[in-house]
Every structure is written in C-alpha cells, then in structure tokens.
Amino acid sequence: MVGKEGRKAAVAAYKERKSVAGVFAVRCLSAGSAWVGGAPDLDKIQNRLWFQLKMGGCPHRSLQAAWNAYGAESLAFEVVERLEDEELAFARTAALKARVAHWAAALGAEAI
C-alpha cells in the first residue's frame, strides 16, 4: 500500500509532467472514413473520445454514427504528428488548427 508521502510524490510528478500537443486521426476500418483532430495533450485525447463515444455523447455526430454502426473494434486511433513545445498558448492553438487542416486535406478526412 502506498503511504501518504508516496501518494503526494506521485501527484506532484503527474502535475509536473509535460503534455505533448499534436494531431491525431481516428479511422473507421469498416466504413473507410477518417477524422482528424488536434489536442493539447495527446496522452489523454483517446481516452476522452472513447468515453464520449461509449456514452453516446460525442459532439462529432458522424464519428458517433460510425461507432454506433460498426462498434469500437472497427475504430483505430493514431497519432499523426507531435508538435514542438510552444510556450504561448495562442501560438500552440494556432499551430494545432493549421496542422489539423493540413492533415484533414492530406488524408481526405473530416476535421473534428
């Protein structure tokens, strides 16, 4: 069992870790569809998306429809591009938006 100090150290280490922003793609193998999105933290986005889809509350209706029609097994998540660390939040947001547009066009995917 982890003691109080061990727990505090684990929480502090988690808070200090660097998040990596980037572009991801979700592909539906059964339908041949693809979606591309950007996230400020690539480590967390798949878990968030899959939770939304399982609950039926994904804001991206076409992705939710593919989940409902073909199931979780037919969807594949992949990191397409990791962005360089950016100090300014607005610069990171602008870079993410531009790279999502680029990858959506390159992959013939819907931007989410």
Q: Is 81 exposed, middle or buried (0-12, 13-18, 19+ CB in 10 A)?
A: middle
Directed axis angle between helix 42-55 and helix 61-70, to 10°? 70
- pLDDT tens digits along 76-91: 999 999 998 877 888 8
| Measured torsion, CA atoms of residues 55, 56, 60, 62, in degrees rounded to the nearest 10 | 140
What are the two backbone dihedrals, phi and then psi, of residue 83, each rounded to the nearest 5 degrees? -95, 150
- pLDDT tens digits along 19-38: 889 999 999 999 999 999 99
